Chains A and B, each alone.
Chain A
Amino acid sequence: MPESEIVQFDNVGLRYGTDREILSNISFTLFPGRFYFLTGASGAGKTSLLKLLYLAQRPSRGAIRMFGTDVITLPRERLPAYRRRMGVVFQDFRLVDHLSAFDNIALPLRVSGVREADLQGPVTDMLEWVGLGHRAESRPATLSGGEQQRVAIARAVIGRPDMLVADEPTGNVDPEMALKLIRLFEALNRLGTMVVVATHDVHLIRKVPDSLIMRLDKGTLADPTGALRYPPRRVEAGR
């Protein structure tokens, strides 16, 4: 596999226990610098697929390579290094309740070992940008759903990850803020971050004309032309 490919799924299946497979025969390749939307009805397996992407779950079968490495057989102590190259916006935000908005956003930088002096400016800028400069010291419980979502997104993008995975990132914000957040994702994308956004929102998808769409239907990936599994190699240059 060429090193430029960030993610490659090959006949991946996922089941919990002895239940039927939630995801079946998932095969695709994701390239750096591309913007992907993951769509599908509720229960189609979007969140499960995203969990495989951000290394919260191992598949029941198949092969997954990320950043040129087989992450299925990789020892678990080496996985954190790969997770640090990703930003994740969780559907339920997963903010740390007793930390302020500032500290929640700073968390990935602190985990990565960025010095306190170096993170003050970027975190403050990010808070300002998502419109929460005045809520820096507020705890998640005192923020509205939309504000919590903005903190979650700011936390996901603050470290400028190689790959951003977002599960319904605009579900709780107004259209203006949704557009603003998508513009942030695009800006990151232009800087080289590959973005995968799971969403139901067709209008949102239309806002990013160069994006590619991955559609899940009852646990299988709709890819009749094989374009997701065998995409044309044109994307690396110029993005």
Chain B
Amino acid sequence: MKRPPVVTRAVERGLSPFRGKRAAHLLPRARLGGPMPWVIAIMVAITVLATAGGLALSNLVARASGDLAGSATVQIVDPDPRTRSTQAEAARDILASDPAVVSVVVLPEDEVEALLEPWLGAGSEDDALPIPALVELRLRDGAGEPELDRLADLLAEAAPDARIDAQSDWLAPVLAALSTLRWMAFGLIALLAFTGAAAVWLAARNALGSNRDTIEIVHLLGGNDDQIARIFQRSILLDALVGGLLGLLAGFAAVLLMGAQFAVLDSGLVTGGGLERLDWMLLALVPLFAIAIAVYTARMTVLSSLRKML
């Protein structure tokens, strides 16, 4: 009888890790056949959109706050145009000589009318609705509410009809709303990350269930938890790579499209919310985070299930 072919002991031979392609074929999966790449693609696309929205709103709030900080407007409301003009010039002279004021400009009446035209209509000669005289001033850095109060007191005698307002006060509710939207966008990102992790958890458990026999065999042949977890990690990594790339492309396309549409509006407020180069780089990191979350979740799910076996 032919001598049976008995190989030398496996443990005495050169060892190479049981992972990568060697291990991957233990799980039969058709690439893009399952829903996971598409789920990850959708998650990444929505996350890219939400992140872009959050970043754009952050930029918008930062720029608007910077522009408005240290600016104030003096309004002189008097039905008599000459009194308005006299008080405006007096106010300008007083403010220009104050050390807290960096610059001061009396807005020409036609410019004020142009500003109000959208609300009052064009060509109104009616004096029944007096248009206030406006004096714009820029305060030195660090000047705040006490300086404005002091300036108001200074103007009280020479320009008794003057009312001084910080410009930031006017837009404070708008900025607060934008800030809330920004935080909502970041909250949405956190929710999407959680939902993505939950989807991967379900997929990993499903894969674990449908491949339980194979896993038990590898387990009984001496495969350790790390080896088995790596098989699933690799599988989900490939899904996440494909899904992440598709999602990033879709998300970028949507952001560019929305950016182009908002740019057409040509509104100062909206154009202030454009994305910087760093923002685009941050968006490109979204799929990497998604992949990391997916792989980590898959690993933890599989290890947790394996610990229930002896």
Contacts and interface: CB of A to CB of B under 8 A. Distances in A.
A126 B5 contact: yes
A127 to B, nearest CB: 9
Which label, helix, strand, loop or mixed, suits the secondary structure of the B interface?
Answer: loop
B6 A114 contact: no
Interface string A151-166: 0000101111000000
In this complex, the interface size class of chain B, counting residues with CB under 8 Å from chain A, is 35 or more
A184 B4 contact: yes
Contact of B310 (A79, A86, A191): A79
Interface of B: 1-11, 13-18, 22-23, 25-26, 28, 213-214, 216-225, 227, 307, 310
B6 A112 contact: no
In this complex, the interface size class of chain A, counting residues with CB under 8 Å from chain B, is 35 or more
Contacts of B4: 129, 157, 183-184, 187-188
A122 B3 CA distance: 13
A108 B4 CA distance: 18
A118 B227 contact: no
A62 to B, nearest CB: 16
A160 B8 contact: yes
Interface string A180-199: 10011001100100000000
A83 B13 CA distance: 17
A84 B12 CA distance: 12
Which label, helix, strand, loop or mixed, suits the secondary structure of the A interface?
Answer: helix
User: Among the interface residues B11, B216, B307, which one has the most CB atoms of the partner chain A within 10 A?
Assistant: B11
A88 B216 CA distance: 13
Contacts of B7: 109, 122, 125-126, 158-160
Given A109-B7, A114-B16, A160-B8, 5 more contacts: A80-B223, A80-B224, A86-B222, A94-B217, A113-B16
Given A57-B310, A76-B310, A183-B1, A107 B218 contact: yes
Contacts of A234: none
A239 interface: no
21 contacts: A54-B220, A77-B224, A80-B222, A94-B220, A107-B218, A107-B221, A108-B221, A111-B227, A113-B10, A114-B16, A116-B22, A122-B7, A125-B7, A128-B5, A129-B4, A159-B9, A160-B6, A183-B1, A187-B3, A188-B4, A191-B6
A1 interface: no
A148 to B, nearest CB: 13
A89 B218 CA distance: 13
Contact of A122 (B5, B16, B26): B5
Given A83-B221, A188-B6, A110 B25 contact: no
User: Among the interface residues A110, A180, A183, A184, which one has the most CB atoms of the partner chain B within 10 A?
Assistant: A110
A113 B17 contact: yes
A112 B11 contact: yes
A227 interface: no
A204 interface: no
A129 B17 CA distance: 28
Interface stretch (A3-11, A21-29, A95-103): A95-103
Contacts of A155: 221
Contact of A112 (B5, B15, B213): B15
Nearest to B306: A76
Q: Considering the complex of A and B, which 3 residue pairs feature the smallest CB-CB distances, nearest first?
A: A84-B222, A113-B15, A125-B5
